[in-house]
Amino acid sequence: MIICVIGTGFRNRVDIIDTIYKNVSKYDIKIIGILWGKLKSYNLIKDKIKLIAISDEEASKYYSNVKINLNIHRAYNDDTIKKLNIDKIKAISPNNRTFDISAVGGFQIVDYREDLDRFYKIGEEIVAYDDVKDLINKIHYYLEHDEERIKLLKMHIKEQ
């Protein structure tokens, strides 16, 4: 497996995967979590989707054994949690998955959050993307330049 996405298929995540899939479909991809049946491309890629929640231990095995973990944060205004965020607090912190992937030595591409650079040197220890086009470009770059991906991983492990 080359690319892995683990997490619930919230609207923003589904939209991103639907948008990027045609550009990364040549790579072996695995999507794990609930609610991914909402993908427009679901029938085309359902064999690459595991529609279940998995344990932290199982997630760790995926994180450490793929070339790229796509870590897409849930949108702070997602309909499924909008009622919980009544104060409309802006989402600036990285999610737990950011640290979980790092803890097991996994490589990740994560959407940028304001607080991300409080914990990581962006571009040296972690790769962040700004938009879908940037994400696609970074996926291709790091899969075509294994040495750069490995160098970044080593830098991150050294800093831990």
pLDDT in tens, 73-94: 987 666 665 566 667 767 778 9
pLDDT over 80 (residue 155): no
The tens digit of pLDDT for each residue in 114-127 reads 999 999 999 999 99
Helix (H) or strand (E) holding 31: strand 29-32
Which tokens in the block code for residue 115? 């607080």
CATH number, domain with residue 109? 3.40.50.2000
122 assigned to some structural domain:
yes
Residue 139 resides in a domain: yes
CA atoms within 13 A on the CB side of 5: 29
Say if 82 falls within a structural domain.
Answer: no
Q: Is 63 inside any structural domain? A: yes
Number of structural domains, the chain? Answer: 1
All residues at 6 or more sequence positions from 29 whose CB lies less than 8 Å from its CB, including other chains: 1, 2, 3, 4, 5, 21, 45, 48
Q: Is 101 helix (H, G, I), strand (E, B) or coil?
A: helix
Q: Give the domain range for residue 133.
A: 3-74+90-159
At 21, is the pLDDT very low, low, confident or very high (cuts 50, 70, 90)? Answer: very high
* 11-24 helix and 132-144 helix, angle to the nearest 10 degrees: 50
Q: Is residue 130 part of a domain?
A: yes
Within-domain flag for 69: yes
Q: What is the pLDDT of residue 80?
A: 60
How sure is the predictor about 1, in pLDDT bands with cuts at 50, 70 and 90?
Answer: confident
Q: What is the CA radius of gyration of the chain?
A: 15
Q: Greatest CA span in the chain, whole angstroms? A: 45
Domain membership of residue 40 (yes or no) is yes
Is 81 inside a domain boundary? no
Q: How far is CA 19 from the centre of its chain?
A: 14
- Does the structure show a pLDDT above 70 at 146? yes
With a cut of 60, say whether residue 158 has pLDDT above it.
Answer: no
